[in-house]
Amino acid sequence: MTSVSTVDLPHGRTAQRLAWVHLPPHVRRLVEQRCGTEVVGAQSCTGGFTPGFASVLVGADGSRHYVKAASVGAQRASALTYRGEAAALSALGATGAPLPSPRLLWSHGTGPATGATGRPDDWVVLGIEHVAARAPRRPWPEDDLDAVLAVLAELAVSPAAVGVDLTTVAEDLADWPAQWDRVAALRPDLDPARVAEASALAAGLAEAVVGDALVHGDVTDDNVLIADDGRVLLCGWAWPALGAEWLDSLWALVGPGSDGVDVEAVLRRTPLLAAAPPDRVDTVLAATAGYFLASSCAKVPTWSPYLRAAQRRHGEACWAWLARRRGWDLGGLVRR
């Protein structure tokens, strides 16, 4: 599959985050207390598209700590995301089942929001196990992709969600099918007949994603760590849900598809995906394309200058993949 997007992203350098020196003194003191050492160095993690603090901190004792932090008042969206991640990691970790993720070591401010009063409680702060690791290479090579798909196959049968109160993917993505109405209005370059077909496919999303498997929901290169010891770990557990066992594996191919990887060939040689009902795969691809294409038309946020470009890249990759599967001749992406 040839990449359909001309968008060139600086992979691994898309986030504009708070640095350690930008955190309020009381938050820095809190972090040092919880880490048990003075912080003498900090390396910001610049992957992703959120402005919250995310850094590997080096202690005076030589220890390393991965810490996330966001202000409830000034960075509410990031703070709520970090709060959700802490809740998910705590709940899933309490089951005792192995989870392919760095461990949550401690958290602060993860209870109900207290407002912007300047106290540490106005910040959500997470201390997460530091793992010596790297991100997947881009463009995605076959060995990195196969390693991630193998872990996702294990996650699909994991008992880590047993007894955990999770939403369903259908509930979380209930507004995705309607995004094609926005695409139809905002992307007149796309063939209206194909847009209508994609919209009709996406309408069946709720049925297509039904399942009892634990779904991470955001398996992208910036949420994957390939550890020095060979393990593949998933980060960013803010939106776990229950759904079809093949969903994470399908969504994990969107980024590689945008790099030019022949994702249809990967799908056919991946047992979990090859066994997925083809019509349901098409439905999820249609809904995902609609979500990304509609989102990419929104205003570019000042705190994430690459977000819309990434969404467009992913949306166009999903659209081209869907077209290939449906036998649509798009002449690229646009109508002739």
> What digits encode the pLDDT tens for the residues 158-199?
999 999 999 999 999 999 999 999 999 999 999 999 999 999
Q: Which of 79, 101, 131 is the last residue of a domain?
A: 131
Nearest to 69 by CA among 57, 61, 309: 57
| Residue at 321 is within a domain | yes
Give the model's pLDDT for residue 173. Answer: 98
Tokens (6 digits) for 157: 């049968």
Q: Which of 101, 131, 161 is the last residue of a domain?
A: 131
Please give the full DSSP string across 37-80, using - where no structure is assigned: S-EEEEEE---SS--SEEEEEEETTS-EEEEEEEETTTSHHHHH
Say yes or no: 113 and 198 in one domain.
Answer: no
Say yes or no: 70 and 112 in one domain.
Answer: yes
How many domains is the chain partitioned into structurally? 2
Give the model's pLDDT for residue 111. Answer: 66
Give the model's pLDDT for residue 12. Answer: 81
Give the model's pLDDT for residue 333. Answer: 53
Contact 273, 250 (CB under 8 A): yes
Distance between start and end Cα atoms, the chain = 21
| Residue at 239 is within a domain | yes
Within 10 angstroms of residue 88's Cβ, the number of other Cβ atoms is 23
User: Within its chain, how far is the Cα of 171 from the centroid?
Assistant: 17
- Bridge partners of residue 232, in order along the sequence: 226
Determine which helix (DSSP H) or strand (DSSP E) holds 185, and give its type and residue range.
helix 179-186
Say yes or no: 120 and 147 in one domain.
Answer: no
| Residue at 14 is within a domain | no
Distance (Å, whole) CA 210 – CA 204: 11
Contact 20, 10 (CB under 8 A): no
| Residue at 4 is within a domain | no
Say yes or no: 256 and 298 in one domain.
Answer: yes
Please give the full DSSP string across 112-129, using - where no structure is assigned: S---SSSSGGGEEEEEE-
| Residue at 15 is within a domain | no
Say yes or no: 70 and 150 in one domain.
Answer: no
Say yes or no: 164 and 117 in one domain.
Answer: no
User: Within its chain, how far is the Cα of 237 from the centroid?
Assistant: 8
What residues make up the domain containing 302?
142-326
Give the model's pLDDT for residue 61. Answer: 98
Task: Give just the sign of the alpha carbon dihedral 288, 290, 293, 294.
Answer: negative
Say yes or no: 93 and 207 in one domain.
Answer: no
Q: Which stretches in the chain have pLDDT values below 50?
A: 1-6, 113-118, 332, 334-336
Give the model's pLDDT for residue 182. Answer: 97
Say yes or no: 182 and 270 in one domain.
Answer: yes
Tokens (6 digits) for 261: 């990887």
Q: Which of 77, 112, 131 is the last residue of a domain?
A: 131
Give the model's pLDDT for residue 117. Answer: 46
Say yes or no: 191 and 261 in one domain.
Answer: yes
Q: Where are the alpha helices (DSSP H) in 168-306?
A: 169-172, 179-186, 192-202, 205-208, 247-252, 254-258, 263-269, 271-274, 278-296
SS3 of 254, please?
Answer: helix
Give the model's pLDDT for residue 332. Answer: 44
Say yes or no: 311 and 162 in one domain.
Answer: yes
Answer whether 0.95 is exceeded by the pTM.
no
Say yes or no: 245 and 110 in one domain.
Answer: no
CATH number reported for the structural domain that contains residue 79 in this entry: 3.30.200.20
Give the model's pLDDT for residue 7. Answer: 58
Q: Give phi and psi for 258, each to the nearest 5.
A: -70, -20
| Residue at 333 is within a domain | no
CATH number reported for the structural domain that contains residue 196 in this entry: 3.90.1200.10
Say yes or no: 114 and 161 in one domain.
Answer: no
Give the model's pLDDT for residue 139. Answer: 94
| Residue at 10 is within a domain | no
